[in-house]
Amino acid sequence: MLWHKAWLETRWRFIIALLILTVMAASNVFDYLATQRLLPLVDTTVVPPAAEATGLGGMIRDAIEIQKDFRGFIWYQAFRQNLTQMGVFFAILLGCGGLLHESSKGSVLFTLSLPVTRKQLLGVRTGAGLTQLFAISMVPPLAISILAPSIGQHFTMVDALAHGICIFFVAAVFFSLASFLSTLFADIWRPLLIAIGIACAVALASVAVPQLAIFSVMNGESYFRTGSLPWAGFLTSAVIATALLYSAAETLERRDF
């Protein structure tokens, strides 16, 4: 029944996340035809000298080249941008809340009077959250695969699953971060805002420090470009997520209510 409770507490966040991400993925599919009509009109040889000097010109040309076929367009628009950015946001949103947040609503004393340990309570909530996260990671890519034939294009299920797994592993890090922060703050806003702040900081820092390029793991760049999954990135993400969830469990265990 703890699973049922966790589901009831998070179902609207999950359903909204699933709907928004799926609609975004679907709209990317249907945007492809319009984009294909516009792309030939873009003259990639005319790039301002300033942009050329900073390397921006090369990036623009690369972006246009990539998006000339459907697989590249979907990777660039959906996986590199929409699903990565919104996926991080919804992962954080799903990770927020929990036992400490219940204390601000008063029902925490009832929950804590049940014959279960705090680790069980956190474990069930984490399990439910990660299951939801897995669903919001996998369904949008699969929707792309299902909808692509409707515009005469093809996106394999294998590609969809591979990208879904890439999204899930890194999103799990931000979910775990939000879960950990939720054992420190009773409200839902501080964990949400701090985790989003950390995600933005990591995104900015990864420009200068390539080792921090966690979002290139999430968007499956290596799989898109070379066909190989980022196993090292998966392992690193799993280790970080586990460490954060362990810290959350220890913090919760020591806390007085």
For the bound state, the minimum distance from the C-beta of residue 120 to another protein, rounded and expressed in Å, comes to: 9
For the bound state, the minimum distance from the C-beta of residue 235 to another protein, rounded and expressed in Å, comes to: 33
For the bound state, the minimum distance from the C-beta of residue 12 to another protein, rounded and expressed in Å, comes to: 10
Q: Of 102 and 221, which CB lies nearer to another protein in the complex structure?
A: 102
For the bound state, the minimum distance from the C-beta of residue 248 to another protein, rounded and expressed in Å, comes to: 18
The answer to whether the beta carbons of residues 202 and 133 sit under 8 Å apart is no
Q: What span, in angstroms and rounded, lies between the C-alpha atoms of 208 and 230?
A: 20
Q: How far is CA 11 from the centre of its chain?
A: 18
Q: What span, in angstroms and rounded, lies between the C-alpha atoms of 22 and 141?
A: 8
Structure tokens at 91: 């992962």
Q: What span, in angstroms and rounded, lies between the C-alpha atoms of 119 and 240?
A: 19
The answer to whether the beta carbons of residues 171 and 139 sit under 8 Å apart is no
Q: Of 177 and 249, which CB lies nearer to another protein in the complex structure?
A: 249
Q: Of 5 and 61, which CB lies nearer to another protein in the complex structure?
A: 5
For the bound state, the minimum distance from the C-beta of residue 109 to another protein, rounded and expressed in Å, comes to: 4
Q: Of 101 and 163, which CB lies nearer to another protein in the complex structure?
A: 101
Q: Of 54 and 107, which CB lies nearer to another protein in the complex structure?
A: 107
Interface contacts to another protein, rule CB under 8 A: 1, 4-5, 8-9, 105-107, 109-110, 112-117, 254, 256-257
